[in-house]
Amino acid sequence: MTTQDLYQQVIIEHHKKPRNFRKIDPASHHAEGFNPLCGDHLWVYMKINAAGVIEDISFEGDGCAISKASASMMTQNLKGKTVEEAKAIFSDFHKLVIGQLNPETEANVLGRLSIFSGIWKYPARVKCAALAWHTMNGALGRETTVSTE
């Protein structure tokens, strides 16, 4: 299977069956994210404990397959991680989607998230893939709304 086939399979699978697709109430951190370019609109919720561990993370909203699959994979990946680890993964993911990190040759903390490695070739889709991550990062910084514009 090629990387492109794997990418498509994973996107379709997460879009059909998004993980952690629910509201956390009460959440310790949450934010709303928009990607006006595509129409993606989602909310990210987190429950972070006193030790700085993300005990629970979820999302809700609507958008294209890439935005929803990326949000789904993000929640799966960040659950149980510390805030510091989440920031490091966000940083690597951001570099990956804009084409500044090659996961095959450069050290990174992306794991399965590296399937998004080819997306920088499609600039219109980069914001779709990054929306949930920017929203999560905004929630950590106590922002209530995040826009990719």
Binding site for Zn ion (CB under 5 A): 38, 40, 64, 67, 128
Beta carbon of residue 128, minimum distance to Zn ion (angstroms, whole number): 3
Beta carbon of residue 35, minimum distance to Zn ion (angstroms, whole number): 6
Beta carbon of residue 85, minimum distance to Zn ion (angstroms, whole number): 26
Strand order in the sheet with 29-35: 54-62, 40-48, 29-35, 145-147
Nearer to Zn ion, 24 or 74 (CB): 74
Beta carbon of residue 147, minimum distance to Zn ion (angstroms, whole number): 13
99: left (phi over 0), alpha (psi -120 to 50) or beta: left
- Residue 83 phi, psi (nearest 5): -60, -40
Number of Cβ within 10 Å of residue 130's Cβ equals: 25
106, two tokens: 């450069």
Nearer to Zn ion, 41 or 81 (CB): 41
Nearer to Zn ion, 58 or 67 (CB): 67
Q: Cβ distance 33 to 71 under 8 Å?
A: no
Nearer to Zn ion, 48 or 113 (CB): 113
